[in-house]
Structure 1
Amino acid sequence: MDDRTVLISGAGIAGPTLAYWLARHGFRPTVVELATGVRSSGSPVDVRGPAVEVAERMGIAERLREAGTDVTDLWFVDGGGRRTGGLSLSAVPGAAAGARDIEIGRGDLATALHQLASEEAEFIFGDSITGIEQDEHGVDVTFRHAPPRRFGLVIGADGQHSAVRRRVFGPERRFVTHAGLYVATLPLGAPAPRPRTVVAHNTPGRMAAVHPRRGDSLAFFAYRAVPVPDFDHRDTAAHKRLLLDAYEGGGWRIPELLDRVRATEELYFDAVSRVRMDRWSHGRTALLGDAASSVSLFGDGSTLAMAGAYTLAAELAASPEDHASAFRRYERRHRGLVEPKQRGVGRAAAMLVPATRGGIVARDLASRAWSAGAALWKRPGKERATA
């Protein structure tokens, strides 16, 4: 079997990025996606550091910047909407040189990547893998709808609930650990009152926010909870019940946002989890993005997905006849980016979703002091102030 035929499961961020680069390296990628089209759900994500370089090499960086959110500030407010703290991102040393970094709606990023990759690769929407059988020379794959096919390699880029991982490596419970949070997003269908400011309200263990997007805004919820028994990440009715129960009786804009939850058909809801595995490959199958190493909080997953896809494609191109060595090199290189991000999830959660009222007050005070110090640092004459 020709190792240059590659089936990629998942048309989110990692899958199309990998398909594009594999095609550029002379492979013949096919992407299969359960959804009937590019998904628009999910919170805004970040394209940072190595992912910016990948986007620039793909020629889409400026398109992504044009579609970016332009968010500059994060405000924390009390139940009456009065500001209690926050961070002015433009006042952070180096954030303006985050100049190259991009925050963008997940759907906008996925659409841009799909449109570019579809010029180079085959995409099959509305279908899924039902069986994977590997042998020394190739992989036989069966689908829910399409006829069976044989590929040289299979890559699971299908998220933290990866079906490829389950079929090849074992049940989800062996690799996925609940991080103590659930998150939800839904589009509000109207611009945010402050188009460059995320406005967030906390009660102990709960956070709700309105996040601007270009011409629109998004409701974002994050709350602390123990794992839900038999949680089904596709059961939207159950997700709505969980969210409504968690935020019942809340102040600020919570009643309005919960009305939107009841009415929406575009709710994204899932547990924040860590995916940790000893190996990301088995035989002719490898995992990419959240399927291998989820850090599903606060946008870093998309950066890691793009960077990992670029690395995997480069390593396969470097030794197209030796996929096992290519998989090992990809994993060794990419783990260096992933592991610090996984360790940082707890710190990020403590900042955005403090567990106690005292934690909220301390966070707000610290954010005001930090922003004031950052602003002072940026003022002319700072050398005298710090001498």
Structure 2
Amino acid sequence: MNTTVLISGGGIAGPVLAHWLSRRGFEPTVVERASAPRPGGQAVDVRGVALDVMERTGLLDRARGLRTRMRGMSVLDPQGNEVHRSTESTFSSGRLDSDDIEVLREDLVRMAYEHTRADVEYLFGDSLTGLDEDETGVRADFAHGPSRRFDLVVGADGLHSTVRRLAFGPEEGFSHHLGSYLSVFGTENFLALEDWQMWLQGDGVGFGIMPVRDSTELRVAFGFESGSLAPGLRTADALRRTVVEKLATVGWEGARLAEAARTAPDFYCDAMAQIRMDRWSRGRVTLLGDAGYCPSPLSGQGTSLALVGAYVLADCLERHGGDHGTAFARYEERMRPFVDLNQALATENPGGPASEESVARAKNAIALDA
């Protein structure tokens, strides 16, 4: 019987891992809390060695066809006066002449799902409530479906990973707040932007506005400085109210952006935080992507870490067939230097992007064929 692997999380890391496990003779099952692949989210970068993973997975050509194609950006002061412009790079994607690509997260999620759904079992609309491991496997308990046994479990379920909590303990022991929150939401293109980004930095707040979908929509990324908020202020409704209130105080287009945040169906807001752990595996359970080593959106490398981690984990499991302990140890050994360099990008230049040299070094700091 083939090794069965439960993967919690149907975003990017989970389906890509499922693809490579299926190709290597494993039997992956992906459980996802949402009822379908999640829409919304910011544009994400795929850089360096992660492009090789995309190509090997069979997704790169399609991703290139869906990449954002910006002409440049303007940087504004709080009153809306342009203080800088560039036709060479943008804050979101770096140099425009780079081979790296920027893709809407929802497009990448949909691609990964469609590429794998014929060969992978998906359980949408469900989530894990318990893990009980013994010497032969792991019993997984679900919120809605019946309990099932698997040989291995992988948590690819993001910053607030359920698998991490069940296997390693409360999030507070691993999450490191980086002093700000980020909100992302969509709205109509009321600025008539055409492949041109607008960025504004005010007192403790800032935002970037990007046209998407052939410039028919805007995707807004709004950040504000704050220590870790109290639990009652971290609910979805409370965070939306906070974002609306803060946007309303911004001089340039603040009122319209505040109204867009108030009504956006795809509104998202969360802390800028990193997950730092001494180990990513325990017994038959391991963590992948943001669940184990979230670098935060400030690094621009979360998606690339997820893609590379998925490939390396599948490779290690195949090379050490049946010996999950050795495979997990090798996965961590290969990935940790890569993770450390990419997490460092988020803190290298507080309030701004990391240097081009640091990004170039970090994005290629691993060999896929070790």
TM over 0.5: yes
Any idea what the Cα deviations from partners look like across 1:58-87, whole Å, max 9, x if unmatched? 222111111111124232112343210244
Q: TM-score, normalised by structure 2?
A: 0.89
The match for 2:275 is 275
Which amino acid counterpart does residue 252 of structure 1 have in structure 2?
W
Which amino acid counterpart does residue 266 of structure 1 have in structure 2?
D
The match for 2:289 is 289
Maintained 8 Å contact 1:29/1:121: yes
The match for 1:98 is 98
The match for 1:81 is 80
Shift of 1:109: 0.5
Shift of 1:88: 3.2
CA distance 1:6–1:195, shift in 2 (3 Å): same
Any idea what the Cα deviations from partners look like across 1:119-143, whole Å, max 9, x if unmatched? 2210111000111001111001110
Match status 1:300 vs 2:304: no
Match status 1:184 vs 2:196: no
The match for 2:337 is 336
CA distance 1:194–1:265, shift in 2 (3 Å): closer
The match for 2:252 is 252
- List gaps (5 residues or longer) in structure 1: 353-387
Distance in structure 1 (CA, Å) of the matches to 2:200 and 2:89: 21
Counting helix residues as a fraction of each chain, which structure ranks higher?
1
Q: Secondary structure at the match of 1:114?
A: helix
Shift of 1:246: 2.6
Q: CA RMSD in A?
A: 2.1
The match for 1:359 is none
The match for 2:363 is none
Q: Which moved more, 1:195-204 or 1:249-258?
A: 195-204
Q: Which moved more, 1:134-143 or 1:332-341?
A: 332-341
Which amino acid counterpart does residue 63 of structure 1 have in structure 2?
R
Any idea what the Cα deviations from partners look like across 1:301-356, whole Å, max 9, x if unmatched? 0111001000000000111211111111111111121111212212354216xxxx
Distance in structure 1 (CA, Å) of the matches to 2:236 and 2:76: 29
Match status 1:230 vs 2:231: yes
The match for 2:113 is 114
Match status 1:152 vs 2:169: no
Distance in structure 1 (CA, Å) of the matches to 2:175 and 2:346: 14
Identity %: 38
- List gaps (5 residues or longer) in structure 2: 354-370
Maintained 8 Å contact 1:192/1:211: no
The match for 1:171 is 170
Which amino acid counterpart does residue 288 of structure 1 have in structure 2?
L
Maintained 8 Å contact 1:68/1:214: no
CA distance 1:271–1:316, shift in 2 (3 Å): same
Match status 1:208 vs 2:207: yes
Distance in structure 2 (CA, Å) of the matches to 1:331 and 1:11: 22
CA distance 1:95–1:247, shift in 2 (3 Å): closer
Which amino acid counterpart does residue 273 of structure 1 have in structure 2?
A
Distance in structure 2 (CA, Å) of the matches to 1:62 and 1:78: 38
Q: Secondary structure at the match of 1:330?
A: helix
Distance in structure 2 (CA, Å) of the matches to 1:268 and 1:139: 33
Which amino acid counterpart does residue 322 of structure 2 have in structure 1?
E
Q: TM-score, normalised by structure 1?
A: 0.86
Shift of 1:202: 1.1
Q: Secondary structure at the match of 1:178?
A: strand
Maintained 8 Å contact 2:176/2:274: yes
The match for 2:131 is 132
Maintained 8 Å contact 1:44/1:104: yes
Maintained 8 Å contact 2:312/2:331: yes
Maintained 8 Å contact 2:70/2:96: no
Distance in structure 2 (CA, Å) of the matches to 1:191 and 1:325: 55
Shift of 1:228: 0.5
Match status 1:325 vs 2:333: no
Any idea what the Cα deviations from partners look like across 1:182-222, whole Å, max 9, x if unmatched? 00011113386333222011112210221122332201101
Q: Which moved more, 1:271-280 or 1:37-46?
A: 37-46
Any idea what the Cα deviations from partners look like across 1:17-45, whole Å, max 9, x if unmatched? 10000001010000000011111122110
Q: Which moved more, 1:73-82 or 1:50-59?
A: 73-82
CA distance 1:87–1:192, shift in 2 (3 Å): same
Distance in structure 2 (CA, Å) of the matches to 1:91 and 1:343: 20
The match for 1:123 is 122
The match for 2:5 is 6
Distance in structure 1 (CA, Å) of the matches to 2:8 and 2:233: 20
